[in-house]
Amino acid sequence: MRGGDEGDEDEGGCDEGGGEGPSEEGDDEGEIADHGVEELARGPSRNVQKSFKAIRDEDHGEDVAVAEEHEEEVSGYRILHDGCVLDIIVRVQPPRERVFAPDWFYIKQPKKIRRLGRSIIVRDACDFGAWIDRVIRDFVESPENTLRNEADEKAWDDPLVGFSSGADPLYTYYKEDIGSFFLTPVEWFEETFTETEVEAGELTVISWILPHTKATKAEHRLQREMPTERWARARIYGEEFNDKLRRHVVERLEDAGYPAVAPMLSPGWSRETSEKYGFASNWSERHAAYASGLGTFGLCDGLITPKGKAMRAGSVIAKMGIQPSERSYEDHHAYCLYYAKRACLECVGRCPAGAISEAGHDKERCNRYVRATEEYVESNFGFKGYGCGLCQTGVACESRIPPDIFR
């Protein structure tokens, strides 16, 4: 697989795109608060328990089992995050005359139950994928998502979110193919949480795509050599937002009791040189997105997603089980017209540096060109920045998977 480069590091052209709720039988649930700790309705369980008592039947001179009914006092708490039930802690107070185990409990279809003395905790009862998806979308809708221009336009359109398992063999393949410096999800986790033991299969890589807005793309399409102000702002301030999103996702997970790390924010993240691919790093947002079913690579190394190639990507690794997203492709170039049909080559014509050819993407040439835009951005737009990404706009894969791929 062509790779090992990472948009966040070398911006390199196309590399601009960087880098359930259980129910307690017997509890009256009532309104679910959006966030926090909610006390369960207290009271007798509607689930009347039967016990059997041996009673001497004097008439017949024998012991018989007689069913007795008991009601139990149920109380506890639900731990809620964004309306999603993460934990239910239930305390069951058995009736005094109860003859069965004192910590008897009844929970409908929990995924995991952990006893805590006389209480139990039901975990993983939440659709974590849906919760994380909402955490990301809500943040993208927040005022943090801004180009910081006069009109305070948003930097990014609605995101795409995908998941892959920490045990996905693609991650070990990346290490073999890109270089031994590349860290797999479990290696990132062990490096970050040195006291915590973890199996690769207990980890989920949460990946997202932040597509450029229509306004940014429409304007940038007309450019031939230098970036527009919106594009350069998205590259600098939009990526600052992407960092805040990485931090936000980690914090939300940790608040909920799930340790998580964003490799791009880690002091352990580093630029590297791949023998096979040149510029590289020890984590790649686009490779995480590929593994998470979000897109495939194009001739210019950018990731072609259902929302196109004009985007940036982000990811977080969490100790949390989430069903991996489907990868509806087998080939890592499946969505590029050049590789699939020997057609297109529009990105070649868009590159002012001559950094893209049928041989692929010349990362060094691209990087030199991108760095040369710094002076232009500062003198024309008044802030320190850079940007190119001309190969990401005005091409067939700019805002979607080229429809010809499916014909």
Binding site for ligand SF4 (CB under 6 A): 12-14, 16, 298-300, 336-338, 344-347, 350-351, 353, 355-356, 361, 366, 369-370, 388-391, 395-397, 402
Tokens 């993407």 correspond to 361
The closest alpha carbon to 352, from 391, 382, 295, belongs to: 391
Q: Please, which residue, 314 or 402, has the CB nearer to ligand SF4?
A: 402
Q: Please, which residue, 298 or 321, has the CB nearer to ligand SF4?
A: 298
CA–CA distance, 291 with 205 (Å, rounded to integer): 9
DSSP 357-407: ETTEE-HHHHHHHHHTTHHHHHHHHSSS-----GGGSSSTTSSS--GGGG-
Q: Residue 392: exposed, middle, or buried by beta-carbon count in 10 A (0-12, 13-18, 19+)?
A: buried
Asked if residues 245 and 136 have their Cβ atoms less than 8 Å apart, the reply is yes
Q: Alpha carbon 196 to chain centroid distance?
A: 21
Q: Compute the least distance from the CB of residue 346 to ligand SF4, in Å.
A: 4
Asked if residues 407 and 257 have their Cβ atoms less than 8 Å apart, the reply is no
Q: Compute the least distance from the CB of residue 345 to ligand SF4, in Å.
A: 5
Q: Please, which residue, 129 or 389, has the CB nearer to ligand SF4?
A: 389
The closest alpha carbon to 156, from 4, 302, 17, belongs to: 17
CA–CA distance, 110 with 124 (Å, rounded to integer): 8
Q: Compute the least distance from the CB of residue 173 to ligand SF4, in Å.
A: 22
Q: Please, which residue, 79 or 355, has the CB nearer to ligand SF4?
A: 355
Retrieve residue 59's tokens: 């008439």
Q: Compute the least distance from the CB of residue 331 to ligand SF4, in Å.
A: 13
Q: Please, which residue, 207 or 392, has the CB nearer to ligand SF4?
A: 392
Residue whose beta carbon is closest to ligand SF4: 13
CA–CA distance, 234 with 216 (Å, rounded to integer): 8
Q: Compute the least distance from the CB of residue 350 to ligand SF4, in Å.
A: 6
Q: Please, which residue, 7 or 263, has the CB nearer to ligand SF4?
A: 7
Q: Compute the least distance from the CB of residue 271 to ligand SF4, in Å.
A: 17
Q: Compute the least distance from the CB of residue 382 to ligand SF4, in Å.
A: 22
Q: How far, in Å, are 46, 49, 68, 92 from residue 98 at the CA level?
A: 16, 10, 10, 12
Q: Please, which residue, 189 or 231, has the CB nearer to ligand SF4?
A: 231
Q: Compute the least distance from the CB of residue 300 to ligand SF4, in Å.
A: 5
Q: How far, in Å, are 126, 185, 263, 272 from residue 269 at the CA level?
A: 31, 13, 6, 10
CA–CA distance, 382 with 377 (Å, rounded to integer): 7
In 42-83, DSSP assigns E strands to: 43-44, 49-57, 62-70, 73-81
Q: Compute the least distance from the CB of residue 337 to ligand SF4, in Å.
A: 4
Q: Please, which residue, 85 or 391, has the CB nearer to ligand SF4?
A: 391
Q: Please, which residue, 136 or 366, has the CB nearer to ligand SF4?
A: 366
